[in-house]
Amino acid sequence: RVYGHKPPLFFWAVAGVSFVTGGVNGVSARAPSVLASALLLSLTYVFGFRWFGRRAALFGTAILATTYLFAMLAMRANIDALHALFTTAALYLWFESVERAAPRPVGLLAAWALAGLALLTKGAGVVLVLLSAAAYLAWSGRWRSRRLLLWNFAGILVALAIAALWFVPAWLSAGSGYAEEIGLRQTFTRATDPWSHERGPFYFFLNFPLDALPWSLFLPAAAAWLRSALAGRSAPQARFLAGWFV
């Protein structure tokens, strides 16, 4: 039976680990999530250290590790941890490349390549990177740079090309019905006209505080810090993180 609900990268990772464990079992099914979560914590420390210093990096990493939803997904055979790793790595590298005195084309293309891996993990990954990048370019005024826009357009093509390396052979092998299911219905239609997990417009406003316990209790303090940071030397990072969060 052809499975047309999600792209294959997570399942490839499980299959790869199963060669070591001697078959698909609880260890091989959870290992990609555990490893991705560990790498995500490491990445959180790295960009926290570079942007805000050692103290903020330690606190940020500890907060993420002890957040309810993160801790739960880190131990499950679930796509979301691997997806979060690729989107976070893509956005971190994207910001670092954009904020240099002369934006690095290689860094931008590498960031969009990571977005392509997010697309191969969970269809909407590249959309998250695109919206976060667009929000920062608009807020910071960097959208006026034609060169920067052209390199980002090239990066989007790189992301799509990476996904096409799997999608085109899968289409040719499984047929147009599979291509329509995974490429349109499960990615774009699901985002614009969902038939499962349907929620109202305020779903995340109500659900996020529960998923982010116990640290969501400090959201007012985080909002106060953001207001202060937007007026200080960390304003670029604060704008980027605020746009990403929203």
What is the spatial distance between Cα 169 and Cα 175, in angstroms, rounded to a whole number? 10
With vertex at residue 89, the alpha carbon angle to CA 87 and CA 95, rounded to the nearest 5 degrees, is 100
Using one digit for the tens of pLDDT, what is the confidence trace for 93-135?
999 999 876 678 899 999 999 999 999 998 777 788 898 999 9
Give me the residue label for tokens 């893509």. Answer: 90
Note the pLDDT of residue 232.
84
Q: Please answer whether residues 171 and 178 qualify as being in contact, where contact means their C-beta atoms are separated by less than 8 angstroms.
A: yes
Q: State pTM to two decimals.
A: 0.90
> What distance lies between CA 59 and its chain's CA centroid?
21
Asked if omega into 8 is within 30° of 0 (cis), the reply is: no
Using one digit for the tens of pLDDT, what is the confidence trace for 173-232?
888 888 788 877 777 666 666 656 667 667 778 888 889 999 999 999 999 989 898 888
Using one digit for the tens of pLDDT, what is the confidence trace for 23-54?
899 999 999 999 999 999 999 999 999 999 99
What is the spatial distance between Cα 199 and Cα 206, in angstroms, rounded to a whole number? 11
> What distance lies between CA 144 and its chain's CA centroid?
25
